[in-house]
Amino acid sequence: MTRGIVASLPNITMALVVVLLTWFVARYAVRIADWLTGKSTLRADLQNLIETVVRVGIWVVGLLLAATVAIPGFTPGSMIAGLGIGALAIGFAFQDIFENFLAGVLIMVRDKMNIGDAIEADGISGTVEKITLRETHVRQFSNELVIVPNSQLFKNRVTVLTDAIVRRDEVLVGVDYEADFDAALAAVKRGMAKVEGLDPAREPAAYVREFGASSIDILAQWWVLSGSHDMRVVRTEVMKGIKRELDAAGIGIPYPHVTQTFADAVPLRTVAEAA
């Protein structure tokens, strides 16, 4: 056994040299890939995908060469043939990892969700900070970091809030039944038109929605330049503008009215009788 180990030392030494060379080659190949992709217009997640594929590919080839040098008679074909049923067991054991890996590749390639996008998915709302081959890092709007498996984002519905630079928002406004329809609609439109951050190519709109229990409900809709303005701030300014214009026109926003009925007659007494 000792003689066999001593006899195999040159092969083991050469295999270690191959592994070391593989480390150097992978390191500089990733740098070259990073330099080449940096000069292109590829997205950041695709650049990371290319770097990972280059690194993994070089390491796979290097480790196979090292195994061939260290073990006489070893070939990649014999390794594949020897796996047999073990490959099936490994596949089942690492099913989730492989699923997330493929989902990560498909997410990066399909160009629908990019780093920096604001998304909503499965109760999570936030900004995509990083996409790896297994998981996606989402920074919630409340500043917590959520690490989501790629398969969850690939198989379930994902709403990309920043897919377009313009988004529509709306609010329901109730006015008095005594108010004039046309005057109320005009006041609501004037309140929206004076707000900064609205898309100048699309005029705000106001529609009579329904006859409510205590008011006539008007649906106010507007388009926000969400790429440069916070929708919450714009919504606040729109509501302030609508309230200001309704007050100037003498149109009130009523409180809920409650009507009570009694099955039996209610006896009434004067204050003196009650005393």
Rounded Cα gap, residues 217 and 224, in angstroms: 22
Contact 132, 104 (CB under 8 A): yes
Q: Kindly report the average pLDDT of the chain as a whole number.
A: 81
- The edge-to-edge listing of strands for the beta sheet with 167-175 is 167-175, 216-224, 205-211
Q: If pLDDT is split at 50, 70 and 90, which confidence band does 106 have?
A: confident
* Tokens linked to 102: 């493929």
pLDDT at 34 over 80: no
Give the model's confidence band at 186: pLDDT under 50 very low, under 70 low, under 90 confident, else very high: very high
Give me the DSSP letters along 3-17: HHHHHHHHHHHHHHH
Mean pLDDT of 51-70: 80
Residue bearing the bigger pLDDT, 41 or 32 = 32
Residue 151: CA count within 13 A, CB half-sphere = 8
- Residue owning tokens 């897919």: 163
The residue with tokens 């898309």 is: 199
Q: What is the DSSP letter of 198?
A: B
Helices (H), 111-230: 150-155, 181-193
Range among 13-17, 47-51, 98-102, 263-267 with highest mean pLDDT value: 13-17
